[in-house]
Each structure stands twice: as C-alpha cells, then as structure tokens.
Amino acid sequence: MTEKTSPRTLRIGTRGSPLALIQANQIAASIEAASGGAMKGEIVTFTTTGDQLTTERLINSGGKGLFTRELDAALSRGDVDLTVHSLKDVPSVLEPGQVFAAFPQREDPREGFLSPHATSLMDLPQGAKVGTASLRREAQTRAIRPDLEIVTFRGNVATRRRKLEEGLADATYLAMAGLTRLDQQAVATPIPLDQMLPAAAQGIIGVVVRDDIDAEAADVMRALNHTPTREAAIIERSFLLALDGSCRTPIAAHAFDLGEDWKLVGEVYAMDGTAKWSAEGVCRKGATDIQLEALGKEIARIVKRSAGGHLPVFRDEW
C-alpha cells in the first residue's frame, strides 16, 4: 500500500482586511485546484502601514507602497512564499528579487458610486460633500462637478460605508471589484468607464513571488494566469511606469478589450479638474510582452507631451 503524501504548503502573505482575505483565499483555492491537491495555501496576515492610516492621504506618508511594504519585506525574508495584492495598490516597480507570478481573471473594473441621497454625481445638490482620499477621484469629481466639496475619506469598505451612514459625506466611491468580491455590489451604482476611467489595473489581483521560485511552484502559479487579464495588466502598468505614476498625480488608465485588439485609454488630470490630457492607442491581443509594454509607453509619451512635458504633482497646499 502506497503511503499518501501530504500536500506541500505555500505560505500566502496578505493584508488582514475582509477583502484582502477573500482574494488570498481565492488564490489558495486556485493553488489547490491547479496542483491537483499536491499543494495548499496557508494564509499569513499582516497589518500594513497603509492599513493604520485611516484619516489622511497616503501621499502624505509615502504613497501606495504603504499597502505592500510589510508584505514585500516578508517575501524577501522568506517568511512567506507568495503575496497577494489588489494590483492598483502595487508600486510601478517591484522590490529587487520579486516578480509577478500570476494575474487571475479580472473583476469589474468600474468605479461604484455610493450615496444615501443620490444615484449619480449629477444628482447631488450643490455644495454636497464627496468623500475620497484619491487624487484621481478628486480631480475627476471636480471636472464633472466643481461646485462639490471634497473631504478626505479613507478606510476599508466597511469603514467607508459607516462614515457615509454617519453623514461625514453625502457620497463616496468604491471599486466595484471589491464590492463584488464581498458580495456587496448592490450597494453601489456602477459608473460607466466612459464617464469615469478607473485607476490602472483596477479589478486585477497580482500574485508576487521571489524570482528564485522552484519549477514546481512556478508551474502551478502559471496555471492561475488569465491571459487577457495578464496582457491588460502589462499594458496599464507600463503606462503608469512610463509616467512615473504614483498617488501624487491624478492618473487613470484602462485597456479595453476590442475582441482582436486592445485599446488603451490613458488620462492625466490637473489637480483641480480644470484640465485633462488623454490619449489612446491599440495593439493586437496575443502580442509579445515587449509590444504590450510599448503601447503603454507610447500613450504615456503622448499624454506627457500634451501636458507640456510636466505632469501635475500634489503639493501640501492641496
């Protein structure tokens, strides 16, 4: 009688928020399925610096890397075997020795509008308060409704919904992807992509590993990839990287699936929403990584040139 071999455990690093845990457990289930039960995921949670900052903008304390710093360090030390992130929170350049291993299928990339008083931004009364800590969302809001007041609004989904119920703002935004994964999509009204372009890579989960990952684990990670999502991620992050994108500039980007082609639309806003620089371009689906990256770089070059060669950057007076 052959002795049954215990499954190999892969330690999955993640933030401890309800949404992050859902995403990490999705990856754990996918690992077990892809390996035929030969591997299983063990969830290891971390509280990141970004999680601890609930009342101020991320840019005041270092930007989007605040949601990954502790996870990055744990992966580099070997305390975990992989990390799972909402890709829009991941800096444009990974830590040395780390690479993306998988991009599972993208969830709804649209923004969700939440308000107890209205179903859209245009329905809000003059001077209403919109809560957000995102410069992109702030600039986009000001572009549509310059009469509205912007108030800083941070925290996870439950925290933001509570703040809204307490009357700290009349409306806010949440990514439809997160709401859908939490089975709370009914609380928001999706905003069409042609009305509000999302952050680059919104709705995509990124799985990161060390670049010395063994062949067996690497094969399982590759099985988690959804090819169209991977291609969209490469295009959108290339655009962001070419603009040196961070939380300090209002940047939006999305790769639209046209069937046989990708169409990238990229935008940069003035801080006060009074100006927008945008461009779009296409490339074939199934193109090489270099060709996908080239699309993002080219659209970034056009946008930057349209903005006069210098992008608007958040400063303390804002």
Q: Would residue 89 show up in a list of annotated catalytic residues for this protein?
A: yes
Task: Say which residue the tokens 């830590």 belong to.
Answer: 95
Cβ neighbourhood burial of 172 (10 Å; 0-12, 13-18, 19+): buried
- Tell me the C-alpha distance between 295 and 304, whole Å: 14
Helices (H), strands (E): how many in the chain? 9, 13
The three-class DSSP label of residue 23 is helix
Q: Is the dihedral of CA 204, 209, 213, 216 positive or negative?
A: negative
- 81, 89, 108, 170: the catalytic one is 89
DSSP 8-state symbol, 260:
S
166, 207, 164, 167: which is closest to 187 by C-alpha? 164
Q: Is the dihedral of CA 21, 23, 29, 35 positive or negative?
A: negative
Residue 52 phi/psi, 5-degree rounding, is -80, -20
Annotated catalytic residues are 89
